[in-house]
């Protein structure tokens, strides 16, 4: 019955969705000649950093000054749909449709901005400008109220700074995380939790413990319920899947509640197109990350560590969300993957300029 309903709603167009991946594989191949050298990757990273200025400005504008869209330019080719007060209310989204997506963009750019800030040869004036920009970006990430983005912000710091910094950076970072965990995790004894909550702002531990949604969120709309349903659907059709975007049709039929995706990219791929497709695409990304691990993180300069970290952060975000459904993040992700290919190759295929 469910299968019949899914086909009736989506028809053959559900399978055409697999073709949406083809332009991005072409882009992965086409971007590579422009990202083969550290200097080229640094220029591309700075472009992504510069592109973040409108995200922060529109986000602050919608929260503090009530800006609302749509803003249009180039005859309607570019349209920004701004929600006054944020989307959801009170959470910074900027020119993105949702706060979690804005948070994903900000944290994929964060390692690249951090690398620019930590460049040893930077003059004082430029370093001050970048420091102010970094503070604004961290504040914007906090205002998205996205737990994924908060975690990625912390994850990127030791990776960009590199293994030589871990001796002095990791101990205070671990202590800070333990204090936040003590303030947020249910079941921690009050003798530990009360002092921790006096140190950690309630906006952080309340969000991490889901305090503001306690008793308000039915199990059917939580990620755990979505993953459980998605795993069951994959088990029913493991080889070819149900077709693109089938989750948004089948999930309401199974649970009585609508959700557009299962908040996990491997599960979404397996559900839509089958386990072989999911394993191939996920394995492709994991292979690029593993091949770039040594050249970038362990032996590379800070620019390449930041590039590898940005790719890792974006990949990790897809374990609990689906930011690639935003075309800007999707394209940026494939640019990062193309740069990873250049890092792992270890030699330029075009003359450096």
Phi first, then psi: what are they for 86, rounded to 5°? 95, 170
At residue 345, the pLDDT reads 76
Q: How far apart are CA 348 and CA 278, in angstroms?
A: 31
Q: Give 3-state DSSP helix, strand, coil % of the chain, rounded to 5.
A: 70, 0, 25
Q: Can you tell me the mean pLDDT for 44-50?
A: 95
In this predicted structure, what is the pLDDT of residue 215?
47
Q: Is 351 left (phi over 0), alpha (psi -120 to 50) or beta?
A: beta
Q: If you average pLDDT over residues 72-79, what whole number do you get?
A: 77
HSE-up (13 A, CA, CB side) for residue 143: 26
pLDDT in tens, 5-35: 444 444 555 566 667 788 898 999 999 999 9
Q: How sure is the predictor about 45, in pLDDT bands with cuts at 50, 70 and 90?
A: very high
Q: Cα Rg for the chain, rounded, in angstroms?
A: 21
Tell me the percentage of the chain whose pLDDT exceeds 70. 89
pLDDT for the residue numbered 113: 96
pLDDT of amino acid 97: 85
pLDDT for the residue numbered 282:
94
Q: What is the mean pLDDT of residues 72-98?
A: 84
Q: How far apart are CA 93 and CA 102, in angstroms?
A: 5
Strands 71-73 and 78-80: antiparallel
| Residues contacting residue 339 through CB under 8 Å, at least 6 positions apart | 31, 35, 41, 44, 307, 311
Q: pLDDT-based confidence at 286, cuts 50/70/90? A: very high
Q: What is the pLDDT of residue 41?
A: 94
Confidence of residue 349 (pLDDT cuts 50, 70, 90): very low
Instruction: Give pLDDT tens digits for 173-212.
Output: 999 999 999 988 888 888 888 899 888 888 888 888 765 5
User: Who wins on pLDDT, 42 or 188?
Assistant: 42
DSSP secondary structure string for all residues of 166-227: HHHHHHHHHHHHHHHHHHHSTT--HHHHHHHHHHS-HHHHHHHTTGGGTTTS-GGGSHHHHH
Nearest to 302 by CA among 102, 149, 158, 169: 158
- Point out the least confidently predicted range of 72-76, 118-122, 215-219, 257-261: 215-219
Say if pTM beats, i.e. exceeds, 0.75.
yes
The per-residue pLDDT for 336 is 96
Q: What is the mean pLDDT of the chain?
A: 85
pLDDT score at 144: 94
């Amino acid at each position: 019955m469910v299968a019949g309903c899914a086909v009736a709603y989506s028809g053959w167009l559900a399978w055409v969705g697999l073709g949406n991946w083809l332009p991005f594989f072409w882009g992965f191949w086409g971007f590579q000649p422009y990202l083969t050298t550290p200097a080229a990757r640094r220029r591309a990273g700075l472009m992504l950093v510069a592109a973040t200025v409108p995200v922060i400005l529109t986000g602050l504008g919608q929260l503090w000054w009530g800006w609302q869209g749509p803003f249009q330019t180039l005859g309607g080719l570019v349209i920004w749909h701004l929600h006054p007060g944020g989307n959801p209310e009170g959470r910074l989204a900027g020119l993105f449709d949702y706060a979690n997506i804005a948070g994903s963009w900000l944290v994929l750019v964060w390692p690249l901005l951090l690398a620019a800030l930590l460049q040893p040869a930077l003059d004082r004036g430029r370093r001050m400008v970048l420091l102010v920009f970094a503070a604004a970006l961290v504040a914007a990430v906090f205002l998205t109220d996205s737990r994924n983005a908060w975690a990625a912000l912390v994850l990127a710091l030791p990776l960009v700074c590199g293994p030589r910094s871990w001796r002095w950076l990791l101990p205070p970072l671990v202590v800070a995380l333990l204090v936040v965990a003590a303030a947020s995790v249910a079941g921690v004894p009050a003798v530990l939790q009360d002092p921790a909550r006096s140190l950690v702002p309630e906006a952080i531990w309340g969000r991490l413990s889901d305090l503001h949604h306690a008793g308000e969120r039915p199990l059917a709309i939580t990620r755990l319920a979505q993953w459980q349903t998605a795993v069951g659907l994959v088990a029913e059709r493991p080889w070819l899947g149900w077709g693109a975007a089938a989750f948004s049709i089948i999930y309401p039929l199974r649970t009585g509640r609508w959700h557009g995706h299962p908040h996990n990219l491997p599960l979404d791929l397996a559900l839509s197109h089958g386990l072989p497709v999911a394993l191939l695409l996920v394995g492709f990304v994991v292979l690029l990350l593993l091949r770039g691990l040594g050249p970038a993180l362990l032996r590379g300069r800070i620019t390449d560590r930041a590039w590898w970290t940005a790719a890792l952060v974006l990949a990790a975000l897809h374990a609990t969300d689906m930011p690639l459904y935003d075309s800007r993040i999707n394209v940026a992700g494939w640019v990062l993957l193309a740069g990873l290919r250049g890092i792992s190759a270890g030699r330029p295929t075009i003359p450096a300029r």
